[in-house]
Amino acid sequence: MKKGTTKALHTSEVGLTKPGPAVIPKIDVQASEVDVEKWKGDILVLGVFEGSLEKNKQGEFENAELRKLDEFVGGLLKEITSEEDFTGKPGQSSFARLAGYGFKRVGLVGLGKVEASESSTKPWKSLGESVATASKTSQAHSVAILLLTSSAQLSENTKVAAASAITSGLVLGSFEDTRFRSEYKSSALEKVELIGLGVGKELQDQISRTVYQSAGVILARQLVNSPANVLTPSVLADEAENIAAAHDDVLLAKILDKEECEALKMGAYLGVAAASTNPPKFIHLRYTPPSGDVKTKLAIVGKGLTFDSGGYNIKTGPGSMIEVMKFDMGGAAAVFGAAKAIATIKPPGVEVNFIVAACENMISGGGMRPGDILTASNGKTIEVNNTDAEGRLTLADALIYAGQLKVDKIVDLATLTGACIIALGTDIGGMFTPSDALAEELSAASKKAGEKLWRMPMEEGYWEMMKSNIADMVNTGARAGGSITAALFLKQFVDEKLPWAHLDIAGPVWKDKTGGTGFAVTTLVEWVSKNSSA
């Protein structure tokens, strides 16, 4: 493990493509109690619940606060709600320009029913995203978001969660990956004031924490979006060392090359990497808190296939998704994003080992073939009956390595199976674990993060189809239950006494219209924080 200076990234030899500078939103979000009638800025946005816009017989708003503000803007809010049938439903928004006031525009954004905002962060995040979109369109620099009507009825926990989710929506909604464009228009938003959720250190600390988490999500999105001719295993290793260099008070980087992995007998991982001219890089980042004793040791392992052709079982035909297989390192991206966020937040009492076995799955005369037998670093042998079931092979050696670190718990993340996408769609990740306690921890973390995980069965009877007649196992079973047999395969490389969970994030890590999502970064940060002594 070493501390190092920032490294220049390896450059592409295919297409001569070099990414431009990343444009990262830098938004100062503050909880405020300012009088909106005295506030000066670009856009005043009102977050409105359903049922809060009721009017009396005279056509005036029954809510006194809303009625006063409407009178201040000359009845404009009344006009908007009447002419556009604005009722505060989720997804509704309307913005209008003003003249002669301290702010240039006023907007209404629907939050839905108050009850829904108590149980889900989605309405709040959507509010932040709507504000980010409107701000970019108008090139606004400063915005105030006012929670009108019923905000006083919200619990203190909900107010903190709301401030966090709005901030997340603002930062992530303002980000657009422009590194590979010659022309682009970036957001000008610099300052946002949240009014109506209270003030205080706890609230402001949570807002700051969310900004750090969002920076991790943005990093994950950039990594997933990066094409394979730019993001090679060596570049991914450079990124790891740069993250460590930027946080060298708490992070150490260790990069193993092919020869070092051979010495550790990582035959499963190296079998996948064999066909590529881009060498494999085994990446280990270790977070250690800046002070105090370490009470819990965790490992987070991410699948790091920077490109997956399928190998000799090449991905072909409609639905093969070969053109987007740059996202096959979505697990590694989540690991790196979480590492960056955790290194900034600095949770006490917990050590976290971030592990990625990075490589490409390509085709060549020296590559892995169907029928080959690979030997993992724990001595178990694997008959390769499908070279396109490669991610689990790299994870096998990565999980063995993680277990040898004497950690207390392991979570791995991977864009592992199309079967999980068929089962859960593109919004939900599959969670596989023999540990009820770990399942509860991850479920609670994902709920707090506003991300969806669904626990899947680990049907031991399905292991029968994974048995080989000449090796310890094959690397893939029948089509039916494909995500389950993949999880059962990984289970063979983890000590049965060690709490372990596998997250199949093949669906939610990518959206066709927008690219990488950064899914699971926030869940991981929340899980680590829960295991800290904070």
CB distance 326 to 227 below 8 Å: yes
Catalytic residue among 221, 340, 392, 409: 392
Residue from 315, 369, 380, 455 carrying the catalytic annotation:
315
Q: How far is CA 357 from CA 183, 335, 354, 394, 534, in A?
A: 35, 12, 10, 6, 31
Alpha-carbon span 124 to 202, nearest angstrom: 18
Say which DSSP state 405 is in.
T
* CB 145 within 8 Å of CB 192: yes
DSSP state of 433: -
Residue 383 parent element (H or E): strand 381-383
- Number of neighbours of residue 16 by Cβ within 10 angstroms: 8
The DSSP-derived string for 268-311 is: HHHHHHTT-SSPPEEEEEEE--SSS---EEEEEEEEEEEEE--T
Is 530 noted as a catalytic residue in this protein? Answer: no
Q: Name the H helices within 323-390.
A: 330-345
- At 135, the amino acid letter reads S
Report the Cα 392 to chain-centroid distance in Å.
Answer: 21
CA distances from 430 to 234, 329, 354, 426, 487 (A): 29, 17, 20, 11, 10
Q: Is 315 annotated as catalytic?
A: yes
* Contact indicator for 245, 6 with CB cutoff of 8 Å: yes
Q: Are 47 and 41 in contact (CB under 8 A)?
A: no
Helix (H, G, I), strand (E, B) or coil at 108: strand
Write phi, then psi, for 384 (nearest 5 degrees).
-85, 105
Phi-psi region of 100 (alpha: psi -120 to 50; beta: other; left: phi over 0): left
DSSP reduced 3-state for 48: strand
C-alpha dist (Å) from residue 495 to 265, 286, 489, 499:
18, 21, 13, 8
Half-sphere exposure of 233 (CA within 13 A, CB side): 28
Listed in order, strand segments (DSSP E) in 20-80 are 28-32, 41-49
Q: Are strands 510-511 and 515-516 parallel, antiparallel or unpaired?
A: antiparallel
- Catalytically active residues are 315, 392
